[in-house]
Chain A
Amino acid sequence: MTDKLVFEGTCWKFGDNIPTDLITPTHIMWKTPREMAKHVLETANPDFPLKVQPGDILVAGRNFGCSSGRALAAKALKATGIGAIVAELFARTFYRNGHEIGLPLLEVGGVDDLVETGDRVRVDITRGIVENLTSGKSIQGNPPSDFLLEMLQAGGLIPLLKSGSKYFEAVTLK
């Protein structure tokens, strides 16, 4: 991950209401994230797990990662090596889980109309901007809160707890 939280890659588009059931179905649940990555989202797009490249950008519609709160869904997507996920709106549990494992996420209303599968896309998480390098158009979205950005910079919740954060100063960590 770059310090700047800027990612550039090829776009893979998915629709609205993609549930965790389609990201990591039950039958692959006991595999490791690396093994799960070979099957992630295969029902929604069989090409995705076969052809996704490190640094690619996944772009989804509304409510991405709904249904079960299974954190495996975010872990399996991260294991594909994708740079970031941009969505019109994330399901709450997915948004939380993604940040906790250091997976860059950006919520951008209107992104569905901005990009198509195969476009080159640049995502600036901190500034909340997604840019279609193929068409030259860009839109402003909602960057994560300061707390979530801090977690992302640290690489997730576990490293953040190790490095310390003002958010945890008020409580005694044993």
Chain B
Amino acid sequence: MNVIEKILAKASGNKEVRPGDVVVANVDLMVMHDLSSNFVMKVFENEMENAKIADPSRIAFVFDHNFAPATQQAAEALAAVRKFAAKHGIRHVFDSGQGSVHHVIVESGLWKPGQVIIGCDSHTPIYGALGVFATGVGNNSMAALGFQHSLGWFRVPETIQVYFHGAMGPAVTPRDISQYVVGRLGEDGAVYQAIEYAGPYIQGLAVEDRMLFPLMSIDVGAKCGYMNPDEKTIAFAQAHSAAKDFEMPMNDPGVAYKQVLDIDVSRIGPQVACPPTVGNVRPIEEAVGIPIDIAEVGGSTGGRIEDIRMLARAFEGRKVHPEVRLQVVPVSRGTYSTALREGLFQILHDAGANIFPPSAGSNQAFNMGAMAEDDVMLSTQARNFPGRNGHPKSRHYLASTLTVAASAITGRITDPRG
């Protein structure tokens, strides 16, 4: 069995599971953001009779779309969740301003290798870089099986392996590679499947960069993504998980895959996901020259300390183009604090950028990032679907931090290789 099958077998009390089996498994951690925690709360309170939460310590709420609610409606929604959490003894509430949901959870240490983690958020597969089976589920699953029984139902997925080799060229980042995979597989290329990211390129990446791959698995429709854990995964878990007594699940030798995709990283340049969807990924040459109004480094796929460091380096002695608003959104208070300490925000502030509180940034335009009909944004965010950020005709391009930096200087989509 592979890592995912082993975790699901153990959590469901089976010796073995096979792709296609439906299992009911023990769930260790349930993650929701400010919007989904409110939706799940409503199902729990309005659609279930005399329901009780089996284990409130397995539930975590992170208010990331609203870093400070801008409307009464949003304020009421958050207030209701706080009240619900207090009533049911849910202590893991990370309130507005703590950061982007999954990065906050990774930093919190609430996770542990070998676990089953579910989230009412489609980017939940991110924890697959940590020796965990993690996937997104709906509000009814979360309330009825998760809250009430600490359980989840899962169809054991078939597994596709994506094998990466070669070295990245200049000004290419792991974001470009993960985005390339979305274009290559297609946004429905792995629906209902698990994806194993493997090969020397993946082994060479830091765990922080590896997380981009399972995170973006949803953009090819996958159920989950993961890496077969190695010494880096173990070291990361020892440093960041609150649990010290974990057993790291590993693939059995000779596991089979439904499909194997081979990718030579050295042949991939900077990539841009063009409107209207995340799967419309093009080599940057096809997008160069498009004027932009808004540039953003932020969101779960772009506000990490590595991103803010790259951005600040690009702006040393340079200014943001006068017709561009550059928004910087760190993924967590830890990231914010490091960026302050390293003087990165001073450089970016002097260059003309606006620094925003740790949050999901412009994702879904809750607190920020609404776009007018003619607006064009280039960001490190995960999604660009029409209507997600204001006017359905506004255009949103997705790219790496280096591409966003180069473009925020020139005012047009610019190849960071110069």
Looking across the interface, which residue of chain A has its beta carbon closest to that of B35?
Answer: A29
Residues of B within 8 A of A93 (CB): 122, 136-138, 218
Complex CA gap A157/B22 in Å reads 14
Contacts of A173 in B (CB 8 A): 149
The stretch that binds A, out of B85-93, B285-293, B316-324, B384-392, is B384-392
Interface string of B5-25 (1 = CB under 8 A from A): 000000011000000001010
A21-B386, A71-B39 as given contacts; A30 in contact with B22, CB under 8 Å = no
A34 at the interface (CB under 8 A from B): no
Residue of A nearest to B76 (CB): A30
Does any Cβ of B come within 8 Å of A26's Cβ? Answer: yes
| Nearest Cβ on chain A to B221's Cβ, whole angstroms | 6
Which chain B residues border A167 with CB–CB below 8 Å?
Answer: 22, 24, 153
- Give every chain B residue within 8 A of A67 (Cβ-Cβ): 122, 278, 383, 385, 388
Q: B150-163 CB contact bits vs A (8 Å, 1 = yes)?
A: 01010100000000
Q: How far is it, in angstroms, between the C-alpha of A63 and the C-alpha of B138 when the chains are bound?
A: 17
A145 near B48 with CB under 8 A, answer no
Which residues of chain A come closer than 8 Å to B368, judged between CB atoms?
none
From B187-195, B237-245, B262-270, B332-340, give the one contacting chain A. Answer: B187-195
Given contacts A26-B366, A97-B138, A101-B140, contact A171 B149 (CB under 8 A): yes
**B2 to chain A: which residues have CB within 8 Å?**
none
**Is the CB–CB distance between A89 and B24 below 8 Å?**
no
B259 at interface by CB-CB < 8 Å? no
Q: Quick check: B277 and A19 within 8 Å, CB to CB?
A: yes
The answer to whether B388 and A26 have CB atoms under 8 Å apart is yes
User: Which B residues touch A74, using CB under 8 A?
Assistant: 138
CB distance from A91 to the nearest CB of B (A): 6
Determine if B380 is an interface residue (Cβ-Cβ < 8 Å).
no
Task: Scan residues 118-174 of chain A and give those whose CB is less than 8 A from a CB of chain B.
Answer: 145, 147, 156-158, 161, 167-168, 170-171, 173-174
Q: Does B405 interact with chain A (Cβ within 8 Å)?
A: no
Contacts of B144 in A (CB 8 A): 157-158, 161
B355 at the interface (CB under 8 A from A): no
Structural contact, A92 and B221, CB atoms closer than 8 A: yes
Judge if A96 is at the interface, Cβ distance under 8 Å. Answer: yes
Given contacts A67-B385, A91-B191, contact A170 B13 (CB under 8 A): yes
Beta-carbon contact of A69 and B386 below 8 Å? no
Distance, CA A21 to CA B279, complexed state (A) = 15
Contact in complex: A91, B188 (CB < 8 Å): yes
A68 at the interface (CB under 8 A from B): yes
- Residues on B with C-beta less than 8 A from A70 are 35-36, 39
Interface size on A, residues (CB 8 A): 41
Partner of A157, one of B12, B122, B140, B192: B140
CB distance from A10 to the nearest CB of B (A): 25
Provide the bound-state CA to CA distance between A21 and B47, in Å. Answer: 25
On chain B, the residues within 8 Å of A95 by CB distance are: 192
Number of chain B residues whose Cβ lies closer than 8 Å to a Cβ of chain A: 51
Bound complex: CA of A89 vs CA of B141, how far in Å?
22
- In chain A, what residue has the closest Cβ to B393? A43
Chain B interface SS verdict (over half): loop
B198 CB within 8 Å of chain A: no
The verdict on B359 contacting chain A, using a C-beta distance below 8 Å, is no
Chain B residues with CB below 8 A from A62, complex form? 188
Q: Shortest Cβ distance from B147 into chain A, in angstroms?
A: 11
- Choose from A91, A92, A100 the contact partner of B141 (Cβ within 8 Å): A100
Contact partners of A161 in chain B: CB under 8 A: 144-145, 148
In the complex, what's the smallest C-beta–C-beta distance from B227 to chain A, in angstroms?
20
Are the C-beta atoms of B140 and A66 separated by less than 8 Å?
A: no
- Whether, in the assembled complex, B364 has its beta carbon less than 8 Å from a beta carbon of chain A, the answer is yes
Indicate if the CB atoms of B139 and A22 lie closer than 8 Å: no
Question: Are B122 and A145 touching (Cβ within 8 A)?
Answer: no
Assess whether B77 is interfacial by the CB under 8 Å rule: yes
Contact at B221–A63, with CB atoms within 8 Å? yes
- In the bound complex, what is the Cα–Cα distance between A31 and B121 (angstroms)? 19
Chain B residues, CB < 8 A from A100: 138, 140-141
**A97, chain B: closest CB distance, angstroms:** 4
Contacts A25-B387, A145-B22, A170-B13; A157 near B187 (Cβ below 8 A): no
Give Cα A173–Cα B159 distance, bound, in whole angstroms: 30
Q: Which residues of A contact B155 (CB under 8 A)?
A: 145, 147
**A2-33 residues at the B interface, CB under 8 angstroms:** 17, 19, 21-22, 25-26, 29-30
For A63, list chain B residues within 8 Å (CB): 187-188, 191, 221
Report whether A97 and B140 are in contact in the complex, using a CB–CB cutoff of 8 Å: yes
A111 CB within 8 Å of chain B: no
Residue of A nearest to B386 (CB): A22
Q: Distance in Å from the Cβ of A59 to the closest Cβ of chain B? A: 17
B402 interface residue (CB < 8 Å to A)? no
> Which 4 A/B pairs are nearest by Cβ-Cβ distance?
A97-B138, A63-B188, A69-B122, A19-B385
6 contacts between A and B (CB under 8 A): A26-B365, A90-B191, A93-B137, A100-B141, A161-B144, A171-B24
Residues of chain B whose beta carbon lies under 8 Å from any beta carbon of chain A: 12-13, 22, 24, 35-36, 39, 43, 47-48, 52, 54, 73, 77, 120-122, 136-141, 144-145, 148-149, 151, 153, 155, 187-188, 191-192, 218, 221-223, 276-279, 364-366, 383, 385-388, 392
Known contacts A22-B392, A67-B122, A97-B140; 6 additional CB pairs below 8 A are A17-B187, A21-B387, A22-B387, A25-B388, A71-B138, A92-B223
